[in-house]
Structure 1
Amino acid sequence: MLTRGAILRQAPGEFEVVDLELDDPRPGEVQVKLAASGMCHSDDHIATGDLPVGTYPFATGHEGAGIVTKAFANDRGIKEGDHVVFSAMPSCGRCRYCASGMQTLCDLSANMLAGVRWTDGSYRLHTADGVPVGQMCGISTFTETTTAPVESIIKIDDDIPLDKACLAGCAVGTGWGSAVNSARVQPGDTVIVMGIGGIGASALQGAAHAGASQIIAVDPVAFKREKATAFGATHAVASMEEATELARQFTHGQGADSAILTVGVLKPEHVGQGVAAIRKAGTCVLTAVAPSSDVGAQIPLFDFVMSEKRLVGSLFGETNPTSDIPRQLRLYKEGKLKLDEMVTHSYALDDVAQGYRDMHAGRNIRGVVLFD
């Protein structure tokens, strides 16, 4: 069938919306008509070249929700008419990591940027003249209709608005889990969250729900600092220096229990600032994406060892999508998770490039593409 989607032809490159030929699903796959797709910074990392991919053209988007229009036989029970959220990370349910409750490290995710199907190296998208098109995370949610592996599909309740549910495909789990799973925030903790976009806003909510007493949001953009209190921040400041001083005031000079770094582009100096802000035996969580070519971080190793500090990488917040996405959306239905407030602007598919310009300008907590 014919569909339309936002692709990148090269990196650095610009998002371009084009007509695409979409194959029908094969065994273990479903076809989904998209209702909405969140605009995550990771797609911009591909446009800038921070994240290299294996196939160009490359169809972007990985945080979406929609309705199944075709479903081949599959072992997840996904059928036509189901309302679903795409998980940015697939989970096979059988590899060592899935079996150990670590679905974000599923062996299938090794090929999430290759563009091809991990089963046989084939493609489901082509340009109008027959050129194969890679799919981000195997799903490509900046596409009106897409064909995706069932390992990336989570069925949800029909009464959840799809334009909000899409955020659970990446931002919510990544931020929430960074606080709850990776930082292991405890009641009474002092927590710093650096960078208040969709993931940072979710990390603030995770820290608040875990019982943190002092939650310090850090962002140079005044608009984002103002929004931070709606997601659980008790304080909002423009710099890590201010946040570190506040944390020490709250902890008799010890420092924050944890610092969660959710900035747009992770840099070595950010890591040093995060580690400097935490107490002895505190945890600094690296959730933000750094350019793949960057190596090293500015950490005073003597203090790091002698203070038994912890530096932790967090992929998708260490969540288990098959159980955590439905659970998070249940919290939304109960009014305990704020998703409506995260969406600051909505865009038509043709305006994807403008949405990312707005992101760079600091106008969005989360932008969302709405499909007809």
Structure 2
Amino acid sequence: MKTKVAVAMEIGKPFELMEAELDGPKDFEVLVKWKVAGLCHSDLHISSGDMPATLPLVVGHEGSGIVEEVGPGVTRVKPGDHVVGSFIPGCGTCGACSRGMSNLCNEGWNGTTGFMADGRLPFKLPGGREAGGMTNLGTFAERAVVKEKSVVPVQEWIPFETAALVGCGVTTGYSSTINTAGVKAGDIVVVFGIGGLGANALQAAKLAGARYVIAIDTDKTKEDVAMKFGATHFFSDPAEAGPVVNELSWGEQADKAIITIGVADAAVTEAAFNLLGKRGVLVLVSMGAMDNYSVHIPGLFLCQFEKVIKGSLFGSANANYEIPDLLKLWDQKHIMLDELVSHRFTLDQVNEGYEMMETPGSGLLRGLIIHDD
């Protein structure tokens, strides 16, 4: 079958739109018609070269859709089911999954190559080249063949736009606060970067009962968004936040700091570290290139104050539990999802969407690709 796709063909170049040939699902695979896909900064890590990848690669790793066909051996879903893509598969049997770390599943390691379990690349591009889907999903395609373990079934009455959001951005931002940072009632929490991830870190901290939630973003136009999603204070400069955090904490500083900026930065990590008090926890959600040394802090205070620096992938979440759980919280109006969506684009406008994401003051919080029916 033929399907329209957006492909990362070369480092440093915009995504290219083209028509690809797609084979049907093999053993333990499903064919998904993607209805909605989310614009996430991780796709730019592919085109920028920050994240090593096998190119060409059909990009997009956040989305929702309908199962159209299942391959032999599939038992989890059936044709007609509504699903959310999980960019980490969660095999359930590897060492990581067996120890309750399904977000670090061994099957997620080929996410930037797109190879399927049998070693093939499912998309056939013009000119005879082949491509995989980013994180084995490739949601910037109208249709894709994905692993059965990479889809999470959801209720059919949930709008596709709402469902798509919990495939990456919401779960990563929310769960990095609850799971990785371990925010609890009474904490003072600082969130760096108020985009699609940071907004969800804010509302998670508020829901967890944080005493104060401090938002920091160099883009001053993000203040209204920050306050809407749960911030009690907003600053465009960490230096301005320091004295306020000290006063609010009675001199004890912040308990948790979560960094969700687009590209990891050593100066931001240091600023976050300095805002933390004794046994404070710094969670680094942001990523950068392999040579981006984004942690450069004095070991003296790390030891003497017993501060903790933790990385967070997918918010340390179990997709099979937390994707449905977040939708339940949305249904009960405990968290906001639809309010995250600021812009909608067609697949042809994918590069326009990412240009807006990279432009300060553009007003883009979370952009969605709405696929043609």
TM interval, short-chain normalised: over 0.9
Equivalent position SS for 2:335: coil
CA contact (8 A) 2:212 2:232 kept: yes
Q: Which amino acid aligns with 2:323?
A: I
Q: Which residue of 2 aligns with 1:90?
A: 89
TM-aligned CA deviation for residue 25 of structure 1: 0.5
Deviations, residues 275-334 of structure 1 (Å, cap 9, x unaligned): 111001000000011122223522011111111000000000000001110011111111
Q: Which residue of 2 aligns with 1:48?
A: 48
Q: Which residue of 1 aligns with 2:37?
A: 37
d(CA) in 2 for partners of 1:28, 1:293: 37
After TM superposition, list the pairs within 5 Å mapping 1:1-372 onto structure 2.
Answer: 1-54=1-54, 56-117=55-116, 119-295=117-293, 297-362=295-360, 363=362, 364-372=364-372
CA contact (8 A) 2:70 2:78 kept: yes
Deviations, residues 339-367 of structure 1 (Å, cap 9, x unaligned): 11111000000000000000011321111
Q: Which amino acid aligns with 1:23?
A: D
Deviations, residues 251-271 of structure 1 (Å, cap 9, x unaligned): 112211010000011111111
Cα distance change, pair 296–232 in 1 and its aligned pair in 2 (3 A): closer
Equivalent position SS for 1:32: strand
Equivalent position SS for 1:198: coil
**Further displaced range: 181-190 or 224-233:** 224-233
List gaps (5 residues or longer) in structure 2: none
d(CA) in 2 for partners of 1:328, 1:204: 15
TM-aligned CA deviation for residue 76 of structure 1: 4.4
**Further displaced range: 119-128 or 61-70:** 119-128
d(CA) in 2 for partners of 1:94, 1:77: 16
d(CA) in 2 for partners of 1:60, 1:321: 20
Cα distance change, pair 339–83 in 1 and its aligned pair in 2 (3 A): same
List gaps (5 residues or longer) in structure 1: none
Q: Number of aligned residue pairs: give it.
A: 370
Equivalent position SS for 2:76: coil
d(CA) in 2 for partners of 1:338, 1:324: 15
The percent identity for this pair of structures is 38
**Further displaced range: 240-249 or 43-52:** 240-249
CA contact (8 A) 2:88 2:150 kept: yes
**TM-score after normalising by structure 1:** 0.97
CA contact (8 A) 1:286 1:314 kept: yes
Q: Which amino acid aligns with 2:5?
A: G
Equivalent position SS for 1:353: helix
d(CA) in 1 for partners of 2:51, 2:223: 28
d(CA) in 2 for partners of 1:326, 1:168: 9
Q: Which amino acid aligns with 2:11?
A: A
Calculate the aligned-residue CA RMSD, in Å: 1.1
Q: Which amino acid aligns with 2:357?
A: M
d(CA) in 1 for partners of 2:336, 2:75: 29
CA contact (8 A) 2:345 2:353 kept: yes
Cα distance change, pair 344–59 in 1 and its aligned pair in 2 (3 A): same
TM-aligned CA deviation for residue 219 of structure 1: 0.9
CA contact (8 A) 1:226 1:236 kept: no
TM-aligned CA deviation for residue 16 of structure 1: 1.2
Q: Which amino acid aligns with 1:69?
A: E
